[in-house]
Amino acid sequence: MALLQISEPGESTNPHEHRLAAGIDLGTTNSLIASVKSGLAEMLADEQGEHTLPSVVRYTENGIIIGASAKSAAAEDPLNTISSVKRYMGRGLNDIKELGGRRPYEFVDTDSAVPRIHTVTGDVSPVEVSAEILKSLKHRAEKSLGDSLTGVVITVPAYFDDAQRQATKDAGKLAGLNVLRLLNEPTAAAVAYGLDKKTEGIIAVYDLGGGTFDISILRLNKGVFEVMATAGDTALGGDDFDYAIAKWIMQEANIQDDTSHHQMRRLMRDACAAKEILSNSDVAKLNIELDDGSNWSGSLTLKKFIELVAPLIQKTLLPCRRALRDAGVDAAEVQSVVMVGGSTRVPEVRAKVGTFFEQEPLTDINPDTVVAMGAAIQADILVGNKPDDDLLLLDVIPLSLGLETMGGLVEKVISRNTTIPVARAQDFTTFKDGQTAMSIHALQGERELVSDCRSLGRFTLHEIPAMVAGAARIRVTFQVDADGLLSISAREETTGVESGIEVKPSYGLTDTEIETMLRDSIEHAEDDVAARMLREQQVEAERVLEALQAALADDGELLNTEERKPIDLAAQKLQELSKGNELRAIKDAIAELDNAATEFVARRMDGNIKKALAGHNVNEF
């Protein structure tokens, strides 16, 4: 007998008040959409009953084709059929060239930093291609649910930087969607997994999709999902497994020409099919169609496949180690390992991850759909269908954010792995007397010097009151919203004058840059500390010299020639040493100058006191 749910008066949402929301997993290989129906997240299927939509868009003279039909035409029409476009989101053309592997598209050289792909219907950007995929999912949802969507949550890799997130949000807007927020894919999986299993404690979410890899260490406790640390590679996934197999096939079949777009498409297609067969078999038969019309037949054994992809699987374990270190936990403290993404179906991936974390990974939840379901649950909450829901999501920023200070140093305002949304403020001041403007330079990275970090943007705060150096107080506020997007404002506290910037760069970091920035911050830690101390001492030397010059210009008559000589000599010595790299020598020279100028400082102070007392008696003060 079915159960009838009874709600107390005022506790249930009236049917006409229920807002339609959906969660979208915008994947590199496949995309999915889910929605909450009767309190449960469900996948939404197309007319053929298929839940997955291949993330492939084909441009033809007769219109745009999306999904399975486009994917089937990839080999015959490679230049007009765009797949794995997620890898290009938020990247520049130079970044794309560094991704590795041959990309069978014609990229157009333009003045814009945003790359464009040439098709038979015109040049398109990765954002426009992604928007077509999102439009198709939107149409599916509205047809399935019977009405228009109030809002959606779109998932992104946890390691997507600001530019890649902004590009994803722009694609959603272009598709006519109200993007409630962007949600990290591992966090979305944790939402679905945590609510299903009522898990508490520390878990690892290992997400290996078609084109990206993420590892997140999360703390789950009473409905609170806190991402303790994230790491990953934005250009590593199942596509790379396919490419490794394709290269092996080329060697075996003696295919010398790798410039044929049709040949590469067929090879990638056949490589992917072989990979899927080897998930449940020890050998995969191959029958490769060559450009000259002939065929090459062979077989790929499971042993050989493991040999080909082992370096790629090993490459995923390096971010796992870094994430554990950043979270401050050992592998033994991780209670569960959740596998997400179609590429985790490869048995060798599961085996290697199980060995690393010393436990059997959890695979009872469909790794292809869990992200979309988690996003749907979050979307349902955000549109207000569950106002009393106590689910709280706490994501983190992947790289530290800071400002340039005098001497080319970086002052970190928000450290990496800080929970978002977050707002942090820090006070700064002027360096020179009478300074009326300040240039604000925002940076991203873990190193101590500006030259070793990535520039995010610049703006200038004008109309600062002319004061002596160090008197002005400028408060700079960094704010990172729930989508990981950054805005910066600067305010002079006495006048209230304010300026700011929204950081929306045209393209983001390459995977190589991300990995290098984090690795270098560890490898060069001691050198960076030494370099920072030297720069700080050099800046202090510059400040002391400027203050002395200003004082001598105003009150130099207080000294005779003989009295001034040691001060000038000490200043000259400091000037010369400040250009070198001897920290101790600069510090000693500053102390020597302070000692030489002691009498002069005392006379100036006496003179200023006399000026202040002129015309007054002590009792007035």
Query: Quick one: three-class SS letters along 446-479?
Result: CCCEHHHCEEEEEEEECCCCCCCCCCCCEEEEEE
List 25, 270, 395, 483, catalytic entry = 25
Does domain 526-613 correspond to CATH entry 1.10.10.10? no
Residue 507: what pLDDT? 36
- pLDDT less than 50: residues of the chain: 1-13, 15-16, 195-196, 505-511, 514
What letter would DSSP give residue 524?
Answer: T
List 77, 162, 170, 207, catalytic entry = 207
CA 511 to chain centre: 10
Output the pTM of the full model.
Answer: 0.59
Distances in Å between the Cα of 309 and the Cα atoms of 29, 242, 338, 515, 613 are: 18, 9, 21, 20, 83
> Annotated catalytic, 207?
yes
Residues written for the chain: 621
Residue 45: what pLDDT? 92
d(CA 246, CA 264): 8
Residue 605: what pLDDT? 79
d(CA 457, CA 611): 47
> Annotated catalytic, 86?
yes
Handedness of CA 188, 193, 196, 200 (dihedral sign): negative
Residue 474: what pLDDT? 85
d(CA 530, CA 201): 39
List 170, 185, 270, 368, catalytic entry = 185
Residue 316: what pLDDT? 94
Residue 164: what pLDDT? 86
What pLDDT digit, counting tens, does each position of 394-405 carry?
566 777 888 888
Residue 205: what pLDDT? 92
What pLDDT digit, counting tens, does each position of 128-186 carry?
999 999 999 999 999 999 999 999 999 998 777 777 888 898 899 899 999 988 888 88
Residue whose structure tokens are 């084709």: 65
Residue 12: what pLDDT? 43
Which residues have a Cβ under 8 Å from the Cβ of 61 and sit 6 or more positions away? 120, 121
d(CA 87, CA 235): 7
Q: E-assigned strands of 120-249?
A: 122-124, 151-156, 179-184, 201-208, 213-221, 224-233
> Annotated catalytic, 452?
no
Helix axes 525-555, 583-596, angle to 10 degrees: 20
Beta bridge partners, 498, equal 491
d(CA 34, CA 5): 24
Residue 514: what pLDDT? 46
Distances in Å between the Cα of 44 and the Cα atoms of 21, 33, 71, 131, 179 are: 12, 6, 20, 19, 18
Q: E-assigned strands of 44-94?
A: 53-54, 56-60, 63-66, 81-83
List 46, 71, 77, 86, catalytic entry = 86
Question: At the top level of CATH, which class does the domain 16-237+309-395 belong to?
Answer: alpha beta
Question: At the top level of CATH, which class does the domain 397-509 belong to?
Answer: mainly beta
What letter would DSSP give residue 578?
Answer: T
> Annotated catalytic, 555?
no
Beta bridge partners, 30, equal 54
d(CA 528, CA 522): 10
Omega prior to 421 cis, within 30 of 0 = yes
Residue 3: what pLDDT? 42
CATH code 3.30.420.40 region(s) in the chain: 16-237+309-395
CA 588 to chain centre: 44
Q: What are phi and psi of 121, to 5 degrees?
A: -100, 0
Residue 306: what pLDDT? 92
CATH code 2.60.34.10 region(s) in the chain: 397-509
